[in-house]
Amino acid sequence: CSKICAVKNHSTQLVKIADTLGDPSFGLSVASLNFSAMRQLLLFIADLTFSLRAQYTRKFDGI
């Protein structure tokens, strides 16, 4: 379940980021929304990188 749960979690994060980009909220400027989406995307990429790195090191740690 850990790999499947991780994939679902990453998919959920991407959907939230896409929603932020595609759905302008009342009272927020486009620049503010873009900054928010970019921040979320950078955090997502960092999280995904660390997750993949942990899986990779776990996979080859026993060799």
Euclidean distance between CA atoms 21 and 28, whole angstroms: 12
Whole-model pTM above 0.85? no
Euclidean distance between CA atoms 1 and 24, whole angstroms: 35
Domain count, the chain: 1
pLDDT tens per residue across all 63 residues of the chain: 555 555 567 777 777 777 766 666 556 676 776 787 788 888 888 888 888 888 888 777 665
Q: Which of 34, 50, 36, 41 is nearest to 13 (CA)?
A: 41
Q: Which domain holds residue 33?
A: 2-61
